[in-house]
């Protein structure tokens, strides 16, 4: 009997799938105010219409890029969104500028895209994606994605 095409998933993968499928109220994914602290180099803050406030560092956002290429690379290496790539074991590591956007552009009424200083531009950060990956203590304790 062939088991080709049958994919076993762990309990954690099942929790993640449930979290991804969970419906969020419209107010939870609709921003009231968006602040990109590009000049300060600190990150992104969003006040949501449900009264919640979220913030992310630029480093977290770059390491959580939702584009297909970054997502596949993260999955292959077992990293979670926002988790940096392991540093290569070298005697003299090369300096790398911290992640910063050269520009941030709204995508319709549903997302932002960042043009990163490392040349990467293909990630579209939807409001839903950002809210599901809120980095506040309350959300992180409830969120199996992070």
**Residues 12-63: tens digit of each pLDDT:** 544 554 555 678 899 999 999 999 999 999 999 999 999 999 999 999 999 9
| Among the ranges given (85-89, 110-114, 127-131), the one the predictor scored with the smallest mean pLDDT | 85-89
Residues of the domain holding 58: 27-85+98-142
110 vs 142, more confident:
110
CATH number of the domain within which 60 lies: 3.30.2020.30
The predicted model scores a pTM of 0.80
44 within 8 A of 56, measured Cβ to Cβ: yes
Would 17 be classed as within a structural domain? no
Whole-number pLDDT of residue 3 = 52
Would 52 be classed as within a structural domain? yes
Helix (H), strand (E) at residue 130? helix 127-132
Would 13 be classed as within a structural domain? no
Tally the domains of the chain. Answer: 1
Whole-number pLDDT of residue 23 = 84
Whole-number pLDDT of residue 11 = 55
Would 3 be classed as within a structural domain? no
Mean pLDDT of 84-108: 87
């Amino acid at each position: 009997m062939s088991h080709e095409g049958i994919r076993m998933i762990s309990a954690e993968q099942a929790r993640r799938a449930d979290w991804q499928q969970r419906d969020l109220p419209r107010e939870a994914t609709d921003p009231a105010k968006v602040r990109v602290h590009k000049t300060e180099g600190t990150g992104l803050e969003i006040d949501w219409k449900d009264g919640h406030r979220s913030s992310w560092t630029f480093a977290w956002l770059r390491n959580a890029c939702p584009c297909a290429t970054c997502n596949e690379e993260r999955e292959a290496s077992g990293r979670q969104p926002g988790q940096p790539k392991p540093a290569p074991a070298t005697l003299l590591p090369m300096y790398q500028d911290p992640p910063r956007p050269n520009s941030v552009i709204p995508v319709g009424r549903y997302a932002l895209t960042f043009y990163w200083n490392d040349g990467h531009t293909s990630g579209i950060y939807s409001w839903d994606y950002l809210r599901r990956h809120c980095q506040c203590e309350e959300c992180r304790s409830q969120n199996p994605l992070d």
